[in-house]
Structure 1
Amino acid sequence: MNPVKQLLWWLIAGSEGGLNRARIIAALLERPSNARQLAKRLGLNYTTVRYHLDILQKNGLVTSTENRYGRMYFLSQLLLDNYSEFEEIWGRVKTEIGEGEK
């Protein structure tokens, strides 16, 4: 199995908080954002978003600008190159939790 796919399975389907991480990834594909913007768009607590962004960044799936205030987050090239793997996993997880094709 592709190592990135294994990582995505673990971060999205195999660990607590995976649903929020997947929602953040999907939101960042639509538009790079800072943590506050993501929190507002996703209806999540700012601290929760920062926590998940840190996990995604430490695992090489998200990158950010260097400035601390208003730091913008983007999907990494690694994730963009493997985005179909994310879509497959995210689709299967949503089906399992009953969200289907939302």
Structure 2
Amino acid sequence: MRRVIWWLIVGTKGGVNRARILRALKERPYNANQLSEVLELDYKTVRHHLKVLLENKVITEAGGGYGTAYFLSEGMESEYEVFKEYLDKVWDKFKSGEAKE
């Protein structure tokens, strides 16, 4: 899981936005529309990142359709401290405005 987290957050272009999604989901479950509003990201961008995170088993989903709620997976919950370390590597990009992808 650590390698997957590194690749998703540090090793790819959308890492900052994926990190923002994961930070939000740590606090509480959200659906895609709620994440779009809270993070001020385009809905389609959020859907893309959720798909990537689901495919890599970093998040899970409950329900279906428009109201599908997303949660951190058990594996991600157990590796959250590792995620925070990796987050430090990309957070400067967000602060400088490079994250709006």
| TM-score higher than 0.5 | yes
Give me the TM-score of the superposition, normalised by structure 2.
0.88
What code does the residue aligned with 2:59 have?
V
Question: Mapping of 1:42-57 within 5 angstroms?
Answer: 42-57=39-54
**What is the DSSP-based 3-state SS (H/G/I as helix, E as strand, rest coil) of the residue aligned with 2:65?**
coil
Structure 1 residue runs without a partner (length 5+): none
Residue 12 of structure 1 corresponds to 9
The corresponding residue for 1:69 is 66
Count of residues paired in the alignment: 95
The aligned counterpart of 2:98 is: none
TM-score normalized by the length of structure 1: 0.87
Deviation at 1:17, TM superposition (A): 0.7
Which deviates more, 21-30 or 61-70? 61-70
Per-residue CA distance 1:25-46 (angstroms, 9 max, x = gap): 0000011100000000000000
After superposition, the C-alpha distances for 1:45-91 in whole angstroms (9 at most, x for unaligned) are: 00000000000000000000132131000000010011111011002
Ranges of 4+ aligned residues in structure 1 off by more than 6 Å: none
Query: Contact between 2:59 and 2:73, CA under 8 Å: does it hold in 1?
Result: yes
- Residue 32 of structure 1 corresponds to which residue in structure 2? 29
Q: How well do the aligned residues superpose, as a CA RMSD in angstroms?
A: 1.3
Matched to 1:23, the amino acid is R
RCO comparison, higher one (Cα < 8 Å, 6+): 2
Q: Which runs of 5+ in 2 are unaligned?
A: 96-101
| 8 A Cα contact 2:5 2:83, kept in partner | yes
Aligned partner of 1:85 in structure 2 is 82
Secondary structure in 2 matching 1:52: helix
